[in-house]
A and B are shown apart, each in its own frame.
Chain A
Amino acid sequence: MVSRPLSEPFTARLRDLLSTLESGALLGVAEARVRGLGEHLRFACMALPCSEALVALEVEALGRLSVPVVADRDGFRSPLGGGPLDLWPSGTPFAYLLAGGAGHAVGLSPGDSMVASLRPALAADPVYAVFVPIRVGSVVAGGAALFSHRDRLDQRHLEMAERLAEVLSLTVESFRTERAIFELFARALPDLIGPEAPTALGAALERHVLALRAAPEYRRRLQLAVAVGRVADRGPAEAELAAALLDRIDAYARTLQGGA
């Protein structure tokens, strides 16, 4: 186990490292996720008569939806030429999907308000669309949308889109698990180390577990982290354990940044 003194410089270094770690880890995972989602959506465009496809995923802490990738038959891209498209679910079909609604196909008119907030991400005005929910465990994490600029999308395509959403959900599930773990440690460790820490690590971790609204399968993993936090909360060993955790997270983040 690595041992370090709990000093001001260490606290400052820890804070810097945590912020770097969090953004680095998120960046690494996000890139892998976008590649996976993009390839799946592209495949959908090749297998179905749809011209473009995208996913809109819930940004848990903010209540917004984020569209990280749009695909067509030739490949995939960021919706706004480098960044995600953010939108509120209200007024879009995703609001209904997030409420537990089932997938559906719709005909669209030119300039249709139903897809107005998604239109900046698309190359042309669609005439048909299929919207299906992406479920992660028992939670709807967002939705996928398939667009056709010419052909009708009917019940058979709706069924295929529902299956595509199952595949997409596996990618999203993997991403959310990684991110949940990282957010947990990254947010809670400064509470432990900082001299002005308002809460104990255990309480902070428990609060973040709740805040993440994790599904049961994640919760089991996260509760393990809470248990670690409680152990680390007991006294002098706390600093050593925090440092050891930090080293392990640091090593893991390096593998992510290396494209793993």
Chain B
Amino acid sequence: MTAIDREARGIRIALIDSGVDGTHPWLAGAALSHHQVERRGELCTVVDGVSGDQAGHGTACAGIIHRMVPGATLHSISVLGPDGRAARDALLAAIRFVVREKFHVVNLSLGIDVPRSSPLRPADHRSVVELYELADAAYTVGVVLVASGSNASDFRTYPGKFKSLIGVGRGAFADTEALVSEMTLDHEILAPGDEVLAPALGGGERRWTGTSFACPHVAAHVARIRAARPELSVEAIKAALHELALSSPRGNPSVEKQVTDATA
């Protein structure tokens, strides 16, 4: 394989989340643009936005990506309205936008969680079908969607479950570059998602735990692959990612033991 461009220069990464605070020190020097989903009557549409994050989550994900691929351009798409809430159709509108704009990589640490014990409700079913079609469209046009899987085994998370995209689970890895292939019905790859150091709103940083924070690690790896081999299809990128996992640092046993000890 061609040498990986670790900075991923020229790669456009979309981050669908709560917005990004571009003034955070972790993002100093980052090439950033801001968009937001706006409701116009019955329809949601993506418009230009401003730097800002209403929940802190998007800034944390952006910090992880920028730390790993400082040469990539980050495009924040906030799905939160001015009141800090978002409808499901806002999420769908954001995904539609990133597919239409053909971003190289899309980080999606958002989704629909459905209890495994429950049947899909009609509203969930409609959203899941639409997500499925959007994920298929992304695959067809070569947009790599990277989506977080569920935190708890009792849940199914969409679109993270779909096989047309890259579903991400989390592991307790000391090395931020770690990747482990794990093909399941819910995800296909594990990345660091436990006690991940990332930005906190207000200029500081904190430790975050959740699949949401594993997802940007994988998005960054995909960005490096795309920078090195822009001609690769989504399928080939997935294969390259799993190849990378074979040679990447595995879960650090000492960290896993530490976590086990702490929870025993």
Contacts and interface: CB of A to CB of B under 8 A. Distances in A.
A113 B262 CA distance: 26
B210 to A, nearest CB: 3
Nearest to A93: B55
Contact of B123 (A93, A151, A156, A215): A215
Contact of A102 (B88, B151, B207): B151
B10 to A, nearest CB: 30
A109 interface: yes
Interface residues of B, number: 56
Interface string B185-201: 00000000111000011
Nearest to A138: B123
Given A88-B84, A101-B110, A107 B206 contact: yes
A96 B84 CA distance: 8
Interface in B187-236: 193-195, 200-202, 204, 206-213
A78 to B, nearest CB: 24
B73 interface: no
Given A89-B85, A98-B85, A102-B210, A154 B194 contact: yes
Nearest to B37: A99
Interface string B107-126: 00111110100000111100
B170 A216 contact: no
A162 B152 contact: yes
B18 A101 contact: yes
B123 A155 contact: no
A103 interface: yes
B54 A154 contact: no
B165 interface: no
A107 B86 contact: no
Task: Tell me what chain A mostly uses at the interface: helix, strand, loop, or mixed.
Answer: mixed
Given A102-B210, A154-B195, A91 B113 contact: no
B56 interface: yes
A163 interface: yes
A106 B152 contact: no
A95 interface: yes
A114 interface: yes
A98 B84 contact: yes
A113 B201 CA distance: 8
A223 to B, nearest CB: 13
Contact of A162 (B154, B195, B201): B154
A36 to B, nearest CB: 19
Nearest to B211: A102
B172 interface: yes
Contacts of A95: 18, 54-55, 80, 84-85
Contacts of A98: 84-86
A103 B170 CA distance: 13
A215 B122 CA distance: 9
B50 to A, nearest CB: 14
Contacts of A33: none
Contacts of A94: 55, 84
B148 A102 contact: yes
B127 interface: yes
B77 to A, nearest CB: 12
B209 A154 contact: yes
A212 B70 CA distance: 45
B263 A157 contact: yes
A34 to B, nearest CB: 23
A135 B17 CA distance: 19
A198 interface: no
A155 B154 contact: no
A114 B56 contact: yes
Given A95-B18, A106-B209, 14 more contacts: A90-B83, A91-B55, A94-B55, A98-B84, A99-B79, A100-B88, A101-B18, A101-B55, A101-B57, A101-B212, A105-B209, A138-B88, A153-B209, A156-B263
Interface of A: 58, 63, 88-96, 98-109, 112-114, 133, 135, 137-138, 151-159, 162-163, 166, 215-217
7 contacts: A58-B85, A96-B54, A96-B57, A100-B91, A107-B208, A109-B206, A217-B121
Q: Which 5 A-B pairs have the closest CB atoms?
A: A90-B84, A104-B210, A99-B86, A107-B207, A105-B209
